[in-house]
Amino acid sequence: MTETFSGTVAVGGSDFHTFTASQNGQIAVTLTTAGPPATIAMGLAIGTPNGTTCTPLAGASMTTSAGASPQLNGEVSGGTLCALVYDVGNETAPITYSLTVTHP
């Protein structure tokens, strides 16, 4: 299943979206757009939702610019997960983004 999400990250902030993996399997997350500027590096993670936050899974976060290929790949257990986009300290204005998550 592939889901598309979009949102805005405030300076110093984060934004996340929840989704449900129906079973154990492969996940791929692609930050498809982020900006302006289009070359800005953002934090990207897969985690578990905890109220109003998304706690990244161990080894499932990185800093990346938007692109066409998945930046995060891995194996996940079935259940409710979240995709997190966050400021890594280089934003000077809010950033609008979109991402895709392919999961079981």
Determine the structural domain holding residue 23 and report its residue range: 2-102
Measuring CA to CA, how many Å separate 91 from each of 26, 38, 65?
A: 31, 12, 13
- The domain that holds 28 is classified in CATH as 2.60.120.380
How big is the chain by its Cα radius of gyration, in Å?
13
Domains in the chain, number: 1
What pLDDT does 11 receive? 98
Bridge pairing between strands 79-86 and 72-76: unpaired
Give the predicted TM-score (pTM) of the model. 0.95
What pLDDT does 97 receive? 98
The answer to whether residues 79 and 21 touch, using CB atoms and an 8 Å cutoff, is yes
pLDDT in tens, the chain (104 residues): 999 999 999 999 999 999 999 999 999 999 999 999 999 999 999 999 998 999 999 999 999 999 999 999 999 999 999 999 999 999 999 999 999 999 99
